[in-house]
Chain A
Amino acid sequence: MRDFYGVRLATPMMLGTARYPSPAVMAAAFRDSGASVATVSLRREGEGGRAFWDIVRALGIHVLPNTAGCHSAREAITTARMAREYFETDWIKLEVIGDADTLHPDPFGLLEAAEALCADGFKVFPYTTEDQVLAQRLVDAGCRVLMPWGSPIGSGQGLNNPHGLRTLRAAFPDIPLVVDAGLGLPSHAAQAMEMGYDAVLLNTAVAEARDPVAMARAFALAAQAGAIASSAGPMPARDMAQPSTPVIGRAWL
């Protein structure tokens, strides 16, 4: 199993903390799914920030702050530095958004920020596309995890480009890969893990389910099933049928 900057995750599931009906439901979703990483953000100080942070800390799992909403490398770098101090971790989920409607990553801003943050000692988890050349540049910058999107954030469309995701897996055999964003159903998580991905990161599909706690558990089981399937060596797909029952010994009727 590949490790995340020296950390072996107990389960291949990273879960967001936003959009739950209540903090209690959020905590139960984490507990029942066994998610091993919680993503969090920094926002302007209002009421409840400290209380929220206490709940997340009590989960006792790894915390991955994000730079969500940043539209430039400069904003993302400053946010990352603030998050490192506040959350006391050098892990950062690096998001630099290039388009407000699709939340498509800005590849140029992402690379610029990744270079600066890796040089500054951060352990960068870049939210990226399945672009292989960008992925290589991020690795060259010092990223030791890549997080390509499955489909646009919050869309629930699943894996829109399975070919691109498989290509990335083949091109970076030693880098932990996480499908981040766009998962809508547990089967999407299973599909990513069956391709040999190391984890999935999701939020909306769980938080906005009718029963978020049950859905979190369903995703965790699907991710685990996909991981077992991947290590078990899936058969190659064929165009033609091949009978599974032996032909030899068939009766002459």
Chain B
Amino acid sequence: MKIDVNGVTHDVEAATVQDALHALGWGDRRVATALNGTFVPAAVRDGTALSPGDRLEVLTAMQGG
């Protein structure tokens, strides 16, 4: 299924947000996730289903002012 991950289209075999993180090589790395603009806590990634065309954001710490 095609989903948008951090602004880039990916074709992933993934039923959930957790599956997608593994499929895309993030595994269990420390990241924060949002699906279609809504925060997805780490604890519910496994139970959050993906649909074609979903927008997944995977964020990490960065320098900031």
Contacts and interface: CB of A to CB of B under 8 A. Distances in A.
21 contacts: A16-B65, A18-B64, A41-B61, A41-B62, A41-B63, A41-B64, A42-B60, A43-B59, A44-B58, A44-B59, A45-B59, A46-B60, A53-B30, A53-B60, A68-B65, A82-B32, A82-B34, A85-B39, A86-B30, A86-B31, A86-B60
A45 B60 contact: yes
B60 A49 contact: yes
Interface of B: 6-7, 26, 29-34, 37-39, 41-42, 57-65
A85 B42 contact: yes
Contact of B64 (A68, A78, A81): A68
A82 B61 contact: no
A85 B40 CA distance: 10
Most A CB within 10 A of own CB, among B6, B29, B32, B62: B62
Contacts of A68: 64-65
A41 B39 CA distance: 16
A237 B46 CA distance: 64
- Among all A-B residue pairs, the 10 with the closest Cβ atoms: A41-B64, A49-B60, A16-B65, A203-B65, A82-B32, A53-B61, A43-B62, A18-B63, A81-B39, A42-B59
Nearest to A47: B60
A87 interface: yes
Nearest to A38: B64
Contact of B62 (A52, A74, A82): A52
A83 B65 contact: no
Q: Which of A43, A46, A52, A87 has the most CB of B within 10 A?
A: A43
A141 B7 CA distance: 34
A17 interface: yes
B37 A83 contact: no
Nearest to A40: B64
A45 B34 contact: no
A81 B42 CA distance: 11
B60 A39 contact: no
A137 interface: no
A203 B64 CA distance: 8
Nearest to A20: B63
Of the listed residues B29, B31, B42, the one surrounded by the most CB atoms of chain A closer than 10 A to its CB is B31
A86 B63 contact: no
Interface string A24-58: 00100000000000011111111001101100100
Contacts of A18: 63-65
A44 B32 contact: no
Nearest to B41: A85
A171 B42 CA distance: 42
Contacts of A82: 32-34, 39, 59
A66 interface: yes
B63 A17 contact: yes
B41 to A, nearest CB: 6
Contact of B38 (A16, A39, A49, A78): A78
A56 B61 CA distance: 10
